[in-house]
């Protein structure tokens, strides 16, 4: 094999150099120089720069935003999804302290798709609770919880923020587990942009869960929208839940 064939592709060499610079000279939230500037600086064409940046995107170091440029992101948190996992508990196991802000809560007519999850017709009234989860003083994910109000009487008087799972356990004797979970990709709308402090149409991960009591009765449907540059999900295939995940 020739020496030329053994040589590392130019874009990978450039990706290595850029990775080192991102780690040592850039902070999360900073923009990298434009592709044109990088091409001139390293004496390569823009196609080579683009392929090198693709490697950084794949490694979760940067995200691309059309018309804006390439943004350095925070290191993503690795969140384990299992039947009994809880956001606060899982992040605490990583040594991370979280706070949960209650944005709003009320009894509302649920969307038809949510009512159907509870095997009810359109027009069903459910308890809707919106929360925002903060990590290291930065917003990480927003959650919408739909509860069967018959299972959580007095909720509006009791909940002011913090872990909803802790309140369910303490006041209602409910220890919920996931029966079904669906993970989807999405993009940030204007409300996500405001609450999660991310660019409009930035990549998001949405996780919807059907959460049941010990008898298998549905108590809650939760939908979380997380910044994909700060959070990644992993599923252990030794966990029974892995057989129920939809994509």
Name the domain boundary from 72, 90, 125. 72
Strands 231-235 and 62-65: unpaired
197 by DSSP, 3-state: which?
coil
Tell me, what's the pLDDT at 3? 46
My answer on whether 106 and 200 are in the same domain is yes
Name the domain boundary from 35, 51, 72. 72
Tell me, what's the pLDDT at 5? 41
My answer on whether 148 and 44 are in the same domain is no
Instruction: Indicate if the pLDDT at residue 92 is higher than 80.
Output: no
Q: What angle do CA 96, 223, 130 make, to 5 degrees?
A: 80
80, 89 Cβ separation under 8 angstroms: no
162 by DSSP, 3-state: which?
coil
Of 56-60, 119-123, 162-166, the poorest mean pLDDT is in 56-60
Tell me, what's the pLDDT at 240? 52
Q: Phi, psi at residue 117, to the nearest 5°?
A: -60, -35
My answer on whether 115 and 128 are in the same domain is yes
My answer on whether 113 and 156 are in the same domain is yes
> What CATH number does residue 120 fall under?
3.40.1410.10
The first and second tokens of residue 6, run together, are: 């053994």
My answer on whether 158 and 40 are in the same domain is no
77, 91 Cβ separation under 8 angstroms: yes
Digit-coded pLDDT (tens) for 190-218: 999 999 988 888 899 999 999 999 999 99
Q: Which of 74, 56, 219 is nearest to 135 (CA)?
A: 74
> What CATH number does residue 13 fall under?
1.10.10.10
Residue 123 contacts by C-beta under 8 Å, 6 or more apart in sequence? Answer: 109, 115
| Structural domain that includes position 122 | 77-246
Q: Structural domain tally of the chain? A: 2
My answer on whether 110 and 50 are in the same domain is no
My answer on whether 38 and 94 are in the same domain is no
My answer on whether 82 and 17 are in the same domain is no
């Amino acid at each position: 094999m020739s020496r030329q064939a053994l040589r590392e592709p130019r874009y990978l060499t450039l990706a290595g150099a850029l990775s080192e610079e991102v780690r040592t000279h850039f902070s999360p939230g900073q923009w990298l120089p434009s592709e044109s500037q990088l091409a001139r600086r390293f004496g390569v064409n823009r196609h080579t720069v683009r392929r090198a940046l693709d490697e950084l995107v794949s490694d979760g170091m940067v995200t691309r935003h059309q018309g804006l440029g390439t943004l350095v992101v925070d290191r993503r948190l690795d969140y384990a999804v299992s039947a009994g996992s809880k956001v606060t508990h899982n992040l605490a196991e990583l040594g991370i302290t979280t706070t949960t802000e209650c944005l709003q809560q009320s009894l509302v007519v649920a969307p038809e798709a949510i009512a159907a999850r509870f095997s009810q017709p359109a027009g069903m009234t459910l308890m809707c609770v919106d929360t925002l989860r903060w990590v290291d003083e930065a917003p990480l994910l927003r959650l919408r919880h739909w509860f069967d109000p018959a299972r959580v009487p007095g909720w509006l008087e009791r909940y002011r923020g913090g872990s909803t799972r802790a309140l369910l356990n303490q006041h209602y004797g409910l220890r919920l587990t996931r029966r079904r979970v669906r993970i989807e990709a999405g993009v940030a709308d204007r409300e996500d942009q405001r609450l999660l402090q991310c660019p409009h149409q930035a990549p998001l991960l949405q996780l919807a869960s059907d959460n049941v009591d010990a008898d298998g009765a549905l108590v809650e449907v939760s939908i979380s929208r997380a910044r994909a540059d700060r959070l990644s999900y992993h599923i252990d295939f030794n966990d029974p839940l892995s057989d129920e995940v939809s994509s």
